[in-house]
Amino acid sequence: MESHSTRQLKFIQLAACLGFVVVLLDVSVVNVALQALSRQFIARITDLQWVVNAYSLVFAALLLTAGALGDRLGAKRVFMLGFAIFTLGSVCCGLAPSLPILIVARILQGFGAALLVPASLSLIRQVFVDAEARSRAVGWWAAGGGIALAAGPVIGGFLISAIGWRSIFLVNLPIGLIGLWIAGRFAPTSPVQSGKSLDIAGQITGAVTLASLTIALTEASSFGWDDPIIYASSGCFILLGILFVWLEGRNPKAMLPLSLFSNKTLSSSTLIGLLANLTFYGMVFTFSLYFQFIREYPPLKTGLAFLPMMGIMVFANIAAGRYATRVGARNMAATGLALSALGYLLILPGLSSGSYELMSIPMLIAGGGIALTIPTITNATLAAVAGTQAGIASGLLNASRQVGGVIGVALFGFLVRFRESGLFLQGMNHALELSSLLLLLACVLAFRHLAPREISVREKLIPDALSKKR
């Protein structure tokens, strides 16, 4: 196994973190820009959902193939390709003259993000061998995302107020150039698996299946559930979903080997990740609409209003990376999910009274709970598979999380589709209650199915050293 200097490891970790930062930065900053985009393009709630979900949809649909592509071509090569495409897409978003072109540019961003995320985790899995060192690296990787989520609304609000909404996309250009230079300079050449199949049939079927579900959930806000378009989209989702499972089960080189789901840790983490992101990104979109359209906050104040929910994520991500291997994935994830469920329930009194002060502490609890969960299930997933399956495993986990985010934005967007304050708040209450129920379900899954803590290399060496002394 090739060893790497401490300096090289730090730069590799920094490059991986920057890749995750830009991916999540464009989640948080776009939500702060919803009011500005609505005014610029005279956009409906459904249009705003597509600005968010066009990115997330492509991201989710291509993650599995991106994971396999990273295994086939090498994590470093795919990481740099993803960074380049994402940066190009960001520039196109910043220059978009119309809403349809902005949505197309968001699709390009999603393609780059899909290549970036699993490749960044594969780089970490490749160079950090010890369980505790890898857990800390994953914790910092997740913390980078937490910093992006926390700082994104504030930075985005400031940029929108000072320069305009286009600046929130163009800020990715210098980040992308720096990340590309670091990866090219310090990341080692990654091992390749030239025989790894890309499973084009499975990829197309899976992508159209997910697109059908997104169309049904999103357009229901405009057309209603009894519209023929919604019926057709729902029917396509069911039929294509069955076809996708059938194709993957028959293909010995499937992009999603169904045998992976026999791994209890991986399958449980996948479902937990879906439920966690469904509630988190669904509620971030809902809060964005609430602050900007109901409370009529300007962009910067909207960004500051998100600080309790987002800011705590940085510290909780680091804590999860540091302590997850000590207390065990089961306990850490279950605790985080339970805290998040409690936080959403505690928001209800503040929402009914219209008091932001009463909402701020519960928002902190909800964000902190999710931040404890995500790096924990990520590290548990990487630890549960062989190094040769790190790309597909991380791709599966992150794909499930992005699918959850797509569903959350579409579903909760439907619940708060009315601009009238009373109806909006009623829908937001339902969204908070549903979030708590889903998170409690995920908590049960974590407690019952996640594995106990992983033993580090240092702990393994202690008994050997003692036996030699004897």
Tell the burial category of 373 from Cβ atoms under 10 Å away from its Cβ (0-12, 13-18, 19+).
buried
What local confidence, expressed as pLDDT, does residue 28 receive? Answer: 77
Stretch among 4-18, 163-177, 416-430 having the lowest mean pLDDT: 4-18
Q: What is the mean pLDDT of the chain?
A: 84
pLDDT reading at 342 higher than 90: yes
Higher pLDDT pick, 194 / 377 = 377
Angle in degrees, CA 145, 149, 152, rounded to 5: 120
Stretch among 219-233, 325-339, 381-395 having the lowest mean pLDDT: 381-395
Mean pLDDT of the region 354-363: 93
User: Could you give the CA distance from residue 108 to residue 90 in angstroms, rounded to a whole number?
Assistant: 8
Element (H, E) at 230: helix 228-250
pLDDT reading at 282 higher than 90: yes
Confidence of residue 4 (pLDDT cuts 50, 70, 90): low
Q: Are 302 and 157 in contact (CB under 8 A)?
A: yes
pLDDT reading at 71 higher than 80: no
Mean pLDDT of the region 147-169: 86
Higher pLDDT pick, 342 / 313 = 342
Higher pLDDT pick, 189 / 261 = 261
What local confidence, expressed as pLDDT, does residue 197 receive? Answer: 61
Over residues 288-339, the pLDDT tens digits come to 999 999 999 998 899 899 888 887 877 887 787 777 777 788 899 999 999 9
Confidence of residue 83 (pLDDT cuts 50, 70, 90): very high
User: Could you give the CA distance from residue 209 to residue 371 in angstroms, rounded to a whole number?
Assistant: 29
Per-residue tokens: 330: 């089961």
Over residues 122-134, the pLDDT tens digits come to 788 777 766 677 7
**pTM for this model (two decimals):** 0.80
Element (H, E) at 165: none
Higher pLDDT pick, 189 / 347 = 347
Over residues 84-107, the pLDDT tens digits come to 999 999 999 999 999 999 999 999
What local confidence, expressed as pLDDT, does residue 381 receive? Answer: 82
What local confidence, expressed as pLDDT, does residue 469 receive? Answer: 53
DSSP state of 226: T
User: Could you give the CA distance from residue 24 to residue 19 in angstroms, rounded to a whole number?
Assistant: 9
> DSSP letter string over 46-114?
HHHHHHHHHHHHHHHHHHHHHHHHHHHH-HHHHHHHHHHHHHHHHHHHHH--SHHHHHHHHHHHHHHHH
Mean pLDDT of the region 347-369: 93
User: Could you give the CA distance from residue 225 to residue 222 in angstroms, rounded to a whole number?
Assistant: 9
Share of the chain above pLDDT 90, in %: 32
What local confidence, expressed as pLDDT, does residue 194 receive? Answer: 60
Q: Are 337 and 446 in contact (CB under 8 A)?
A: yes
Share of the chain above pLDDT 70, in %: 90
Smallest Cα–Cα separation from 305: which of 319, 318, 316, 295? 295
Mean pLDDT of the region 205-229: 82
pLDDT reading at 44 higher than 90: no
